[in-house]
Amino acid sequence: MSSQLLRDARQHEEIFEKNIGKEDRPAFHLSSRVGWMNDPNGFSRYNGEYHLFYQYYPYAPHWDSMHWGHAVSRDLLHWEYLPASLAPDTKYDNFGCFSGSAIEMPDGKQLIMYTGVVKEMNKEGIYTDVQTQCIAVGDGINYEKYENNPVLDEKDLPEGGSRVDFRDPKMWRNEDGTLSCVVANRAYDHTGSLLIFNSENGFDWKYEKTLAFNHGKYGSMWECPDYFEMNGKHVLLLSPQDMYPVDMEYHNGNGTVCLIGHIDDTTGEFVEEYNQAIDYGIDFYAPQTILTEDGRRVMIGWMQNWDTCSMHSEDRAWVGQMSIPREIDIQNGRLLQKPIRELENLRTDCVTYQNVKVSGVQTLEKVNGRCIDMEVTIRPEDKENLFRELTINLAQDDKFKTSISYRPQEAILKIDRKFSGSTKAVIHQRRAKVYSQSEELKLRIIMDRYSVEIFVNDGEQVMTATIYTRLSAQNISFQCDGAAMIDVTKYDLTE
Ligand code: FRU
């Protein structure tokens, strides 16, 4: 039986989505059906389709009492909205149904594990969160919350673990059919840690161990962990809050980290061998991964950052998009990301240019558009006399542009959306050090109506930014201080 709160949300989204035209949304990125979206949740395969739930407040374009929105897809690019699946309608989640994951069960049902949040007054008289893990079971459309919720609460925490920050369970199935999950927790030293719990049946869960402690190295609390093995390595994806920048890494405040390592045989703890940001742009947070039927690990993230949410005005009908799903790999101790190959099915109208000299401003016939897949390879015209900066201007008209600039002498790539149509003084620029091994820099730029994702050197790094430029700004130009040679291959992407 669905609650009044859930019925209200379902009715609201059905009515208000009608006010949003097709062009008002991204063409191939999932956006909030109405109102607000943050983290991807329950990214999973179920009944032969991909399901993606999301943190959702349907009634306004800002964060508020969290529901779960829901969409389904066959190719991870074309999404169909389903009715909202969870509302904060019980005594253990009435402040919000926070992030979690989903998995198909042997009996054909889909099991969701999410964080239930309530507010309780502490000894100092201040209201704080109490976070527990809860279960809901459903058929891909309707979900029933488990009668014995919550299934994990403060009794299940290791000593010193906080019940205020205990959230975002990510489940997986082990080879023997049992389930495990990793949950983020604020540990005894007040910074993040990751806890592992196990279950035979998905309903009864037991604490196994603390997999990793932050000890303040990466921000404060950790959010939305994911954990898997790949190419002989153990991989952790994390979204730490309040990070300090370190040289050219971790400039996002609320950032993302990929840790690559192994498990210590005696302690069972994760040992870090390598760390990097998952995304070096502005808008990427809280990613989750799945395994596709053909064994690819695909990651999707919330294409927004908590530090820049205030760029959205209150009159928008939807706020929040997901990134392009990215196939990920671990090679030579680094994370590689590529747009999922299904995107190639959307390509039309190929235009190619080889060895174009850019010195000053240059446009190329038919190289324009707002929904594009464009590869640009950049090299100096004269290796002994490097150009100072090459800039690619996207979504450009007489007033607006979003720029990607490369300075080979410093190996710095910059995205700048200052002139993308935003009227808010939030962060609009991000720089990344690019680790090019050769004299060439290879960029693959995936642009949708309201976003740009730049895959650098075959996915060694990615920079993501949302833009809300008027759609008539369709031009692309190249500009060089000095002389550079470029190859360009551009496709339009159709819906
Ligand atoms: C991450 C996060 C999660 C939490 C959710 C609440 O963006 O803060 O930790 O579950 O958002 O909406």
Tens of pLDDT, residues 11-49: 999 999 999 999 999 999 999 999 999 999 999 999 999
- Identity of residue 278: I
Amino acid at residue number 306: W
| H-run or E-run covering 150 | none
What pLDDT was estimated at residue 356? Answer: 98
End-to-end CA distance of the chain: 36
pLDDT digits (tens, 9 = 90+) for 207-234: 999 999 999 999 999 999 999 999 999 9
Strand partners, 152: 133
Q: Are 51 and 42 contacting, i.e. CB atoms less than 8 angstroms apart?
A: yes
Q: Is the CB of 193 under 6 A from ligand 1?
A: no
Nearest CA to ligand 1 atom 6: 98
**Mean pLDDT for the chain?**
96
Atom of ligand 1 nearest to the CA of 224: 9
Question: Residue-wise over 132-156: b if at least 16 C-beta within 10 A, else e?
Answer: bbbbbbbebeebebbeebbbbbeeb
Tallying the residues shown for the chain, one arrives at 495
Residue from 8, 39, 189, 398 carrying the catalytic annotation:
39
| Contact indicator for 324, 469 with CB cutoff of 8 Å | no
Q: Is the pLDDT of residue 258 over 90?
A: yes
Q: Does residue 149's CB lie within 6 angstroms of at least one atom of ligand 1? A: no
Q: What is the whole-number distance in angstroms between the Cα of residue 224 and the centre of ligand 1?
A: 7
| Mean pLDDT of the 423-429 span | 90
Please state, in angstroms and rounded to a whole number, the distance separating the CA atoms of residues 179 and 28: 33
Residue 38 beta carbon below 6 angstroms from any ligand 1 atom: yes
Res 310: pLDDT: 85
Contact assessment for residue 181 and residue 170, using Cβ atoms and an 8 Å cutoff: yes
pLDDT of residue 393: 98
| Residue 253 clears pLDDT 90, i.e. is over it | no
CB count, 10 Å around CB of 272? 15
Q: Is the CB of 93 under 6 A from ligand 1?
A: no
pLDDT at residue 5 in the model: 98
From 39, 237, 242, the mutation candidate for ligand 1 (largest count of ligand atoms within 8 A of CB) is 39
pLDDT for 214: 96
In testing the pocket of ligand 1, which one of 37, 38, 256, 300 has its CB within 8 Å of the most ligand atoms?
38
Instruction: Report which residue type is found at 222.
Output: W
Q: Is 445 in the pocket of ligand 1 (CB under 6 A)?
A: no
Percent over 90 (pLDDT), the chain: 93
| Predicted pLDDT at 487 | 98
How many angstroms separate the alpha carbon of residue 98 from the centre of ligand 1? 6
Yes or no: say if 169 and 182 are a contact pair by the CB < 8 Å rule. yes
pLDDT tier at 484, thresholds 50, 70, 90: very high
pLDDT tens per residue across span 373-384: 999 999 999 999
Span 454-468, mean pLDDT? 97
Q: Is the CB of 224 under 6 A from ligand 1?
A: yes
Higher-scoring residue by pLDDT: 153, 315: 153
**Among the atoms of ligand 1, which is closest to the Cα of residue 223?**
9
**Residues 341-372: pLDDT tens digits?**
999 999 999 999 999 999 999 999 999 999 99
Per-residue model confidence (pLDDT) at position 377: 98
Mutation test of ligand 1: which of 167, 256, 303 has the most ligand atoms closer than 8 Å to its C-beta? 167
Q: Report the predicted TM-score, pTM, of the whole model to 2 decimal places.
A: 0.97
The Cα 415–Cα 403 span in angstroms is 6
The C-alpha atoms of residue 171 and residue 401 are separated, in whole angstroms, by 42
37 vs 312, higher pLDDT: 37
Tell me how far apart the alpha carbons of residues 449 and 371 are, in angstroms, rounded to a whole number.
6
The two beta strands, 461-466 and 372-380, are unpaired
The answer to whether 58 touches 70, Cβ cutoff 8 Å, is no
Q: Is pLDDT at 438 greater than 80 in this prediction? A: no
In this prediction, residue 437 has a pLDDT band, given cuts at 50, 70 and 90, of low
Q: How far is the CA of 443 from the centre of ligand 1 (A)?
A: 31
**Token couple for 169:** 């369970």
55 lines ligand 1 (CB under 6 A): yes
* In the chain, % of residues over pLDDT 70: 99
Ligand 1 atom with least separation from CA of 302: 7
Atom of ligand 1 nearest to the CA of 63: 12
pLDDT over 90 at 312, yes or no: no
> What is the CB-side half-sphere exposure of residue 346 using CA atoms within 13 A?
23
pLDDT of residue 1: 65
Q: Which whole number is the average pLDDT over 444-459?
A: 97
Least confident of 95-104, 164-173, 304-313: 304-313
Is 39 considered catalytic here? yes
* pLDDT attached to residue 18: 97
- Give residue 313's pLDDT: 86
Confidence of residue 79 (pLDDT cuts 50, 70, 90): very high
In the beta sheet, which residues pair with residue 186? Answer: 192
Atom of ligand 1 nearest to the CA of 55: 12
- 252 — pLDDT class (breaks 50, 70, 90): confident
